[in-house]
């Protein structure tokens, strides 16, 4: 019963000085809000990195084409680019044959097309691929099937479409077995790709396309029925003076290569680089990247950033706790006579300690509750205004709330002990 009496006395003191209690709680409010918002930003960033890891697949090496252009010397003379056969299916065959650490290779040929179906037209990309493309990019077929061996071998006019293409050209209609016209070629749809959810920023950071908006055909179909840029190479050799420096002479646009073991990623990338350098006659018309290692480095940087943000938010809570201690010390000095009166009426030192500790914890409690609400609003505001993904987790809310209560308890003990040690007679005589 004495505890409840001391608690009621503490509540009366807090509500009697509401403005002071509110100002004291401000430090805790902003500290808790900062902790929740910062952790939400950090968790959101980590989740986005994990989603990006899923987008690129594991143990992948990406080889992209880079157009080698003519160079101009300081005296305005033009040095023609050196001939290169460009990235081709022969490179794919060499990598598969001579590099034992390579598990799978997925070549890609990307061609802009106009897709037409019953008067509806849509600008899209026709992507020539092999079936390994779906596995290496963690893509699923939502309806229909992948290409079978005969379609791949003979270059038959079949395709698999992304969800956005289905929505724009077919609406709610089942597209399996129906035809669409891509430029001058009619294609029969045999499958629909499952929707891949990803932020635009995440796709741009990784330099990959929106898979939902593409039309996929067997790589041989793309080379036979659409465009085989390798055939231009012979023409360029016969008429070197007529070369267009912006002309893409690469048969393929990209290779995605999966390595059997993560530890072999960098060594395999180095071997691929040397092989391509020799095959392309020392022309640097390709770029090799290891997305997983880049993302892991980015993740380490993000972790350091999260620690810094957490430390800043923790300092805010610490400052709030010091503010509580200062206000409680001032409150002790102002209420010396009240303390002396309570002691003379039979209150023990323990009763006085409990009263002031309850006051400090209650102020921290109010600050923590309001801070949680403020932190949730702040995290939502950051997500909408800055377009940064934020995820508020229960453990971050619990952590911030628990720390706020602990700070009230910790920083309230010293003023409470000081109040309890006052001599009752001396306190009653104080003016």
Helix 2-16 vs helix 349-385: crossing angle, to nearest 10: 50
Instruction: From 248, 267, 244, 247, select the one nearest 257 (Cα to Cα).
Output: 267
Kind and range of the H or E run holding 256? strand 254-259
pLDDT at 49: 67
d(CA 110, CA 257): 17
Whole-number average pLDDT of the chain: 80
Residue range 65-74, pLDDT digits in tens: 987 665 554 5
Distance of CA 156 to the CA centre of its chain: 39
* Cα radius of gyration (the chain): 34
User: Residue 238: pLDDT above 50?
Assistant: no
pLDDT at 50: 65
Cα 298 from Cα 43, distance rounded (Å) = 14
Q: Is 239 a residue whose pLDDT tops 60? A: no
Cα distances from 319 to residues 40, 279, 315, 418, in angstroms, run: 22, 64, 6, 21
pLDDT bucket at 198, cuts 50 / 70 / 90:
low
Looking at residue 295, its pLDDT comes to: 61
Mean pLDDT of 121-137: 92
| Confidence class for position 206, pLDDT limits 50, 70, 90 | low
Cα 394 to Cα 400: distance, rounded to the nearest angstrom? 10
pLDDT above 50: residue 240: no
Cα angle: 203, vertex 209, 210; to 5 degrees: 80
The yes-or-no verdict on residue 232 having pLDDT over 50 is yes
Q: Which residue has the higher pLDDT, 241 or 418?
A: 418
**Residues paired with 127 in a beta bridge:** 110, 216
pLDDT higher than threshold 70 for residue 76: no
The reported pLDDT for the residue numbered 110 is 94
Q: How far apart are CA 175 and CA 314, in angstroms?
A: 56
pLDDT in tens, 278-302: 999 888 889 998 876 666 666 677 7
Lowest mean pLDDT among 180-184, 337-341, 406-410: 337-341
Residue 54 CA to residue 44 CA, distance in Å, equals 15
Is it the case that residue 249 has pLDDT exceeding 90? no
**What totals of helices (H) and strands (E) does the chain contain, helices first?**
15, 12
pLDDT single digits (tens) 305-326: 777 777 777 777 777 777 777 7
DSSP secondary structure code for residue 195 in this structure: P
Mean pLDDT of 397-411: 78
Mean pLDDT lowest for which of 132-146, 159-173, 334-348? 334-348
Q: Which residue carries 């934020």 as its tokens?
A: 390
Q: What percent of the chain has pLDDT over 90?
A: 32
The residue ranking higher by pLDDT, 247 or 93, is 93
User: Has residue 9 got a pLDDT over 80?
Assistant: no
Q: How far is CA 258 from CA 104, 136, 373, in A?
A: 5, 7, 46
* 227 pLDDT more than 60: yes
**243 against 31, higher pLDDT:** 31
Lowest mean pLDDT among 53-62, 149-158, 396-405: 53-62
Cβ partners under 8 Å of residue 400, min gap 6: 31, 32, 35, 36, 39, 368, 371, 372, 375
- Sign for the pseudo-dihedral over CA of 376, 382, 384, 389: negative
Distance in angstroms (rounded) separating the CA atoms of residues 141 and 313: 45
pLDDT value for 293: 66
- Indicate the DSSP class of residue 197: -
Residue 101 has pLDDT above 60, yes or no: yes
Q: Tell me: pLDDT of 351 over 70.
A: yes
Rounded Cα distance between 416 and 325, Å, is: 10
The residues facing 160 across adjacent strands are: 191, 216
Residue ranges of the domains in the chain? 2-52+297-429, 59-290
């Amino acid at each position: 019963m004495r505890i409840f009496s001391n608690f009621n006395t503490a509540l009366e003191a807090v509500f009697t000085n509401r403005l002071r209690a509110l100002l004291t709680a401000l430090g805790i409010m902003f500290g808790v809000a900062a902790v929740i918002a910062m952790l939400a930003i950090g968790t959101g960033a980590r989740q986005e990195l994990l989603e990006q890891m899923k987008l690129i697949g594991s143990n992948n090496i990406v080889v992209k084409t880079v157009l080698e252009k003519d160079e101009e010397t300081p005296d305005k003379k033009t040095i023609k680019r050196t001939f290169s056969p460009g990235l081709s299916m022969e490179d794919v065959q060499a990598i598969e044959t001579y590099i034992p650490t390579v598990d799978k290779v997925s070549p890609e040929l990307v061609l802009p097309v106009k897709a037409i179906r019953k008067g509806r037209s849509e600008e899209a990309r026709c992507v020539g691929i092999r079936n390994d493309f779906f596995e290496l990019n963690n893509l699923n077929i939502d309806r229909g099937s992948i290409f079978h061996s005969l379609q791949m071998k003979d270059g038959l006019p079949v395709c698999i479409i992304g969800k956005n293409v289905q929505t724009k050209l077919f609406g709610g209609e089942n597209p399996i077995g129906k035809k669409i016209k891509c430029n001058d070629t009619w294609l029969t749809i045999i499958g629909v790709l499952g929707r891949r959810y990803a932020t635009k920023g995440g796709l741009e950071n990784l330099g990959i396309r929106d898979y939902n908006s593409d039309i996929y055909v067997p790589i041989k179909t793309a080379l036979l029925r659409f465009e085989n840029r390798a055939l231009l190479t012979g023409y360029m050799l016969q008429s070197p003076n007529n070369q267009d420096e912006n002309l893409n002479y690469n048969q393929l646009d990209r290779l995605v290569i999966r390595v059997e073991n993560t530890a072999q990623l960098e060594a395999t990338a180095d071997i691929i680089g040397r092989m391509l350098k020799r095959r392309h006659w020392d022309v640097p018309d390709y770029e090799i990247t290891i997305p997983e290692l880049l993302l892991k480095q980015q993740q380490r940087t993000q972790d350091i950033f999260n620690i810094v943000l957490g430390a800043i938010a923790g300092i805010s809570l610490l400052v709030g706790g010091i503010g509580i201690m200062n206000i409680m010390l001032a409150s002790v000095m102002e209420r010396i006579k009240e303390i002396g009166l309570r002691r003379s009426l039979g209150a023990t030192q323990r009763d006085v300690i409990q009263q002031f500790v309850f006051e400090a914890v209650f102020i921290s409690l109010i600050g923590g509750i309001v801070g949680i609400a403020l932190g949730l609003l702040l995290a939502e505001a950051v997500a909408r205004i800055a377009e940064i993904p934020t995820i508020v987790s229960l453990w971050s809310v619990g952590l911030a709330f628990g720390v706020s209560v602990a700070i009230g308890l910790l920083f309230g003990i010293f003023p409470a002990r000081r109040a309890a040690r006052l001599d009752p007679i001396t306190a009653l005589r104080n003016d």
